[in-house]
A and B are shown apart, each in its own frame.
Chain A
Amino acid sequence: MKRAFPILAVLTGVLLSYAMYQALVVAPTEQTMGDVQRIFYYHVPSAWTAFILFAINFVASIVYLIRRNAKADMLALVTAEVGVVFCTVNLVTGPIWARPVWGIWWTWDLRLTLTLVLWLIYVSYIVLRRFSSSGQTPLLAAVLAVFGALDVPLVYFSIWFFRTQHPQPVIGGGGSLDPRMWHALLINWLAFSCFGALVCWSRYRLEVLRRDFDETLALEALLEPRSSKARSS
């Protein structure tokens, strides 16, 4: 298991460089948007990775609620944090793309708004974990994760209907992608998923170490007064 980590790290590095080469050089230039469209290869994979991480967070939270398994809780914590990072990337690259293409930084489009609301929910999840005192944190966080997941379809429908009432600039515009673009997109997604897994893994190991150490500290604090008393008497 320990040896797999450097292997994954090297694989991720290779994949990321290859994916960047694909995105910047191999993929054809889009006709109407030009080179700016290449942001797409970073923007979309980040969103997909973030959504997968949030889905894992939801499953892990449910598992925690049923089994009270500390590993599930740590997995939920890790995926939420890394998911927020990827979601942030998506939210930052989105306007940078929108500005030259549509002339606006932001619009209350369905996908944009949904991503923003998800980001807000998971940031509040992380804030809750940070503010909560240790013992009950996993339970409260898992409950919040369930509430957040229940909220997603409601957010989706509300924004969908909001859009039909308030016409917005049409974005994305479907269309078919050149196969080489698909290739670049999927390679980038693979690379970013590996990168995400790698970051999650590191964060997970850090969390394990942190909890083990806190436990040792607590044990030590329990034993301390007794041993010092024994010595003095």
Chain B
Amino acid sequence: MSYLYAAYIATWTIHITYLATLLRRYTRLRNEIAEFKGRIEDK
């Protein structure tokens, strides 16, 4: 039975880890865009 839970937890851990990396990449990109916009407006 614990094997069953282990498998389900592992599945979601993997999926959530991937989603988290996507989110991290997205926030990084948004920061870059914000920084870029700031630089453009300064001129």
Contacts and interface: CB of A to CB of B under 8 A. Distances in A.
A, B co-complexed: yes
Interface SS of chain A: helix, strand, loop or mixed? helix
Interface in A91-106: 92-93, 96-97, 99-100
How big is chain B's contact interface, by range? Answer: 20 to 34
A43 B7 CA distance: 9
A227 B3 CA distance: 64
Nearest to A37: B4
A90 B17 CA distance: 15
Contacts of B22: 199, 202-203, 206
Interface in B1-43: 1, 3-4, 6-8, 10-11, 14-15, 18-19, 22, 25-26, 29, 32-33, 36, 40
A29 to B, nearest CB: 11
A92 B10 contact: yes
A209 B29 contact: yes
Interface residues of A, number: 29
Given A199-B19, A202-B22, A36 B3 contact: yes
Contacts of A213: 29, 32-33, 36
A199 B26 CA distance: 13
Contacts of A202: 19, 22
Most buried by A among B4, B33, B36: B4
A39 B19 contact: no
Given A206-B22, A206-B25, A206-B26, A89 B3 contact: no
Nearest to B39: A220
From B6, B7, B40, name the one whose CB has the most chain A CB atoms within 10 angstroms.
B7
A140 interface: no
A57 interface: no
A42 B36 contact: no
B1 A39 contact: no
A96 B7 contact: yes
A46 interface: yes
Contacts of B26: 206, 209
Contacts of B10: 89, 92-93, 96
A39 B3 contact: yes
Given A206-B25, A206-B26, A216-B36, A96 B3 contact: yes
